[in-house]
Amino acid sequence: MAGKLQVLKKSGVMTLCDETGNPIQLRGMSTHGLQWYPEIINNNAFAALSKDWGANVIRLAMYVGENGYATNPSVKEKVIEGIKLARANDMYVIVDWHVHFPGDPNAKIYGGAMDFFKEISTMFPNDANIIYELANEPNGADPGVTNDRAGWEKVKSYAEPIIKMLRERGNENLVIVGSPNWTQRPDLAADNPIQDENTIYSVHFYSGSHKTSPSSSDRNNVMSNVRYALEHGVAVFASEWGTSEADGNNGPYLEEADEWLSFFNENNISWVNWSLTTKNETSGAFTPHEQGKTKLDPGKDQVWGPKELSVSGEYVRARIKGTKYEPIDRSL
């Protein structure tokens, strides 16, 4: 652990830094929806991610809709347990208020956001391990936000009072804020940023759907939007990305993922991969139950064997560790 995270200007670009002011890149995994895959919250899994994978961050995806927190508040207990396990295993932990369906974070179903963040931050006051992600993915799903300045304004006006509450109560934590069109528009945030020195803007992409770009002026390209944001004075954090297409399936598209990760490394952008699940979808890090019988608890040795990992999981583990990716023979 590198202590309190802070956003500082380095060579003219807003950059995530550690407590001593040196740039730091976080790399790790996101859980799948905790209402569906709560079994990932166990000490052996967190130890495996921290030690065997070399992850320094884990994201706890707490869906609010889709049978999540709004109707099943007990999922919060998994978040609390996950925070404690992340601390015990030396990882930063992202508490993700998983706005997904519907798309407007101001929608009625998300009405519990302020109380939720107040409660967690009261339980863990000004805890340097914790990163608060206020809205996973604002989008157009009814009631949604438009993919433009007005859409961002709605996200901003949702996030500001929560940030104010956190700061007034002495919490200096890093805060991540999403943007319209499933968090593909950090450029809109850069044009009209939140006045807070420890807020960073997320970008989400799926390597099978979102092409890379060398330019910063193409508003229909996600990487271009990141470049624009960096050029216009805000810091960016890739709090969710996948090796699949945007629906979580097909691929994996690993060469395309490599292009994105090189870009992140060059720009010291932190990233978190979707997701820690045995569900039968390409983006899932583990082989599905039916085939491999992989468990989300790797057992006492605190290691998932190569065959328990999916192609995506095996690839992402190597990229987190920074070792060569040498795929196992899966025909055996």
Catalytic residues: 137, 240
Is 247 an interacting residue with respect to ligand IDC (CB under 6 A)?
Answer: yes
Enclosing H/E stretch for 63: strand 57-63
Using CB under 6 A, which of the segments 1-9, 112-120, 122-130, 274-282 binds ligand IDC? 274-282
Q: Does 206 bind ligand IDC (CB under 6 A)?
A: yes
Nearer to ligand IDC, 15 or 179 (CB): 179
Element (H, E) at 217: none
With CB under 6 A as the contact rule, the residue among 104, 133, 187, 281 that binds ligand IDC is 281
**Is 279 a binder of ligand IDC (CB under 6 A)?**
yes
Contact residue for ligand IDC among 274, 286, 304, 315 (CB under 6 A): 274
Site membership for ligand IDC, residue 78 (CB under 6 A): no
d(CA 82, CA 146): 33
- In terms of DSSP H, where are the helices of the chain? 43-47, 75-88, 113-123, 149-168, 180-183, 186-191, 222-231, 254-266, 289-292, 311-321
Q: Is 70 in the site for ligand IDC (CB under 6 A)?
A: no
Is 112 in contact with 69 (CB distance < 8 Å)? yes
Site map for ligand IDC, 174-203, x if CB under 6 A? Answer: --------x---------------------
Return d(Cα 157, Cα 124) in angstroms, integer.
25
Asked if 13 is part of the footprint of ligand IDC (rule: CB under 6 A), the reply reads no
β 13-17/6-10 pair status: antiparallel
- Span of 10-18, 243-251, 258-266, 300-308 interacting with ligand IDC by CB under 6 A: 243-251
Nearest to 60 by CA among 97, 24, 90: 97
Token digits of residue 291: 């085939």
CB 298, min distance to ligand IDC, A:
21
Taking the complex as a whole, the smallest distance from the CB of residue 129 to ligand IDC amounts, in Å, to 23
Return the closest-CA partner of residue 176 out of 328, 9, 42, 16: 16
Interface positions with ligand IDC (CB under 6 A): 66, 100, 136-137, 182, 204, 206, 240, 246-248, 274, 279, 281, 283
